[in-house]
Amino acid sequence: MSAEDTLFQRFGKEFPKGAVLCHEGEPGKEMFVIQSGRVTISKRVRDVEKVLAILGPGEFFGEMAIISNKPRNATATVHDDARLLVIDPKTFEGMIRGNSEIAVRMIKKLAERLSEADSQIENLLLSDPVSRVVQHILQVCQTRGRPLEEGVEIDLPLRELPGQISVGEPAIRLAVNRMERAGLLERSGDRVTVYDTARLQDFLQYLEMKWKFGEL
C-alpha cells in the first residue's frame, strides 16, 4: 500500500462535486489536503461571489482557521469529485512539530499565496480588460507554469476566469485570440503555451501606456 493510500485510510474522505466544505465566517476546526479533484475557494464581496482560486491535487487550504483560531475567511466548494485528507488541529500540530520539512513547505506556500493575493489586487486596479487578462496569464506563468523548450505551459480554463479577474468571458476570449494572432501564445483547449513571458510583459506595458495616453 502506498503512503498516499495509508494517509487516505487514516484521514481521507470523498466529496461529490458541489459539496461545500466550509463557509466563509463560520468557525474552522479542520484543514484539508487535496489528493484528487479540485476545490474552488471563493469570497463574497458585497453581493457578488468572487473566485479567489481553484486548487488541485497536492494543494491544501483551511489551515489559517486552525492557526489563528478565527472564523473562515473564504468558502470552499468541491469543483470536481474529490478525495481529501481532513486534518484536525491536534494532528496538524503534531505534523508541524514532528516534521520540519512540512513546516517549511507550508511557510513557502503561505508566502506564495500572499504574492498571488498582491497580484490579484494589482490586477483589479487595471482599468483595461485586456490588461487584466495579460496580467493574470503572467501571474499563472510565474506561480504555476511548466517550463517547456518552446516556452511556459499553463492551465487556463477561460470559463473559470470571469469570477477571478472581473472580466466577461467574451472579452477574455477576444484578448486571448488577439495574443494568439500576435504570436505571443498558443492555446489548445484549457492549456496555453506562452512563448516568451518577457514579450508578454512588454505587451502589458504597451497596453498600460495606450490606456494612459490614448492613441497618439
Give dist(CA 42, CA 14) in Å, integer. 21
Give dist(CA 140, CA 186) in Å, integer. 15
Quick check: 46 pLDDT over 60? yes
Per-residue model confidence as pLDDT tens digits over 50-70:
788 888 898 888 888 888 888
Quick check: 114 pLDDT over 70? no
Quick check: 216 pLDDT over 60? no
**For residue 138, which phi and psi values (nearest 5 degrees)?**
-60, -40
Find all residues with CB under 8 Å of 202, minimum gap 6, and list them: none
Q: Closest by alpha carbon to 19, among 98, 87, 114, 83?
A: 83
Give the CA distances from residue 208 to residues 27, 136, 149, 172, 211, in Å, rounded to whole numbers and listed in that order.
42, 14, 29, 17, 5
Query: Which domains, and CATH codes, for the chain?
Result: 3-100 (2.60.120.10), 123-213 (1.10.10.10)
pTM: 0.59
- Write down the pLDDT at residue 147: 93
